[in-house]
Copies of this chain bind each other. A is one copy, B any other.
Amino acid sequence: MLKVGLLGAGRIGRVHAQAIAAHPYSELSAVSDALPEASARLAEEFGANARQSQEIISDPSINAVLIATPTDTHSDLIEAATQAGKAVLCEKPVDLSLERAFACQSVSKATGQPVMVGFNRRFDPNFAALKAAFEAGEVGKAELLSITSFDPAPPPVSYVKVSGGLFRDMMIHDFDMANFLMGDLPEVISAVGTSVVDPEIGAAGDVDTAVVTMTYADGRIAVIKNSRRAAYGYDQRVELLGSEGMLQAQNILENSVVKSTSNGVTGAKPTYFFLERYMSAYRAEWDAFVRSVNSGSGVPVTLDDGVAALAMAEAATRSAQSGQSMVLAKVLKPVAK
């Protein structure tokens, strides 16, 4: 039984609390949050204790921590927790600063503790089925990957200002999905981004609509499209063209009802947002973490994966600003293994 401390009692912390509590091999022992009411409420709901983060990290009876705090605390907490001998599952992104992430990577690697990064979409059953079909050779060799990822509505500009920008905050999931499906990092990244959805986002120095093109050493190409707004809901699709066919993971709809009238044939919208769309992925992610920690096998999404996706976000950000392609190797400083 894995005793777990949850750092961060916000919206995503609650999702994780449910997964931790429902899992047969883990229990939620303690919850911390900068807002004491938040940790108290969540702890009570799940029969856990509300404590300070440092108490949780230094409690030897706790085996693992799940970090769901604000991004600017991730690196510090990963370092502290691994140095205290904990297994760690940390929400994305590792950090907004690539330099800080590199340092965290060095420190935590030295501890030998497992650190998994919360790229939950790898555990979505649809994307996982697409990858399994690809690896079973059903469409031959990969040639062109397309990822469409649109949010239903833009976040408040106040959030945009501290988010690190669309590439680090939102597209980082798609960078990791590309790495997951392509099984390699791209060589060259080029990006464009505009603020056609909301000029306030542009005024805040960010973009709300972006396209990134990536080329690989063997000639494969990947393209990622992001928008902060899709009026019809959360649009999450992947399309992989191979030498012998194409695999698509299509949207999950609210229900299966179709209405035919003189206005056309209308089906349901995609499920609204990430909590609805990826609930089963969060559960499967936690299950994978528990299994890997319990068995001592490596975690399925590593801190290296988290840093790689961050470096791709960094490269895309610079490309969108400069109008020039970026060679990823120049951004991604190799870490001593």
Show the binding face of A for B, using Cβ within 8 Å: 125-126, 129-130, 133, 138-141, 143-144, 146, 148, 150, 188, 190, 192, 194-197, 202, 209-211, 213, 215, 218-221, 223, 225, 227, 229-232, 235, 241-269, 323-325
A261 and B215 form a contact (CB under 8 A): no
A133 CB, min distance to chain B CBs, angstroms: 6
Chain B residues, CB < 8 A from A245: 230-232, 259-262
- Whether the Cβ atoms of B209 and A144 lie closer than 8 Å is yes
**Which residue of chain B has the shortest Cβ distance to A193 in the bound complex?**
B221
Q: A257-B248, A323-B325 are in contact. Are A190 and B188 (CB under 8 A)?
A: no
A143 contacts B323, CB within 8 Å? no
What are 16 A-B interface contacts by the 8 Å CB criterion? A126-B255, A129-B268, A146-B148, A190-B323, A192-B221, A202-B219, A231-B242, A231-B243, A231-B246, A232-B260, A235-B260, A245-B259, A248-B257, A250-B258, A264-B267, A267-B267
Q: Which of B196, B230, B249 contacts A246 (CB 8 A)?
A: B230
| Chain B hits for A257, CB < 8 A | 126, 129-130, 133, 247-250
Q: How far is A104 from B306 in the complex, measured between Cα atoms in Å? A: 55
Residue of B nearest to A142 (CB): B196
A229 proximity list for chain B (CB < 8 A) = 143, 243
By the criterion CB–CB under 8 Å, are B256 and A251 in contact? yes
List B contacts of A146 (CB < 8 A): 148, 225
Residues of B within 8 A of A231 (CB): 139-140, 242-246, 260-262
A89 CA to B210 CA, complexed, in Å? 38
Cβ B139 vs Cβ A259 within 8 A = yes
Please state if A263 and B266 are interface contacts (CB–CB under 8 Å). Answer: yes
Work out how many copies of this chain go into the complex.
4
A209 CA / B260 CA spacing, docked (Å):
18
Q: Distance in Å from the Cβ of A22 to the closest Cβ of chain B?
A: 9
Contact A259–B192 (Cβ < 8 Å): no
Q: Pick the most buried of A260, A268, A269, A324: most chain B CB atoms within 10 A of its CB.
A: A260
Q: Whole-angstrom distance from the CB of A246 to the nearest CB of chain B?
A: 4
Closest Cβ of chain B: how far from A259's Cβ, in Å?
5
Contacts of A126 in B (CB 8 A): 255-257
Please state if B194 and A262 are interface contacts (CB–CB under 8 Å).
Answer: no
Q: How many Å lie between the Cα of A270 and that of B240 in the bound state?
A: 17
Instruction: Pick the residue among B210, B246, B249, B252 that contacts A260 (CB under 8 A).
Output: B246
Q: Given A258-B247, A259-B247, A265-B253 in contact, is the A194-B219 Cβ separation under 8 Å?
A: yes
Q: List the 6 shortest-distance A-B pairs measured between CB atoms, nearest first.
A: A245-B261, A196-B219, A194-B219, A232-B260, A250-B256, A266-B266
Contacts of A259 in B (CB 8 A): 133, 138-139, 245-248, 264
Q: How far is the CA of A245 from the CA of B144 in the complex (A)?
A: 26
**Chain B residues with CB under 8 A of A258:** 247-250
CB distance from A248 to the nearest CB of B (A): 5
| Interface residue from B125, B218, B324 paired with A324 (Cβ < 8 Å) | B324
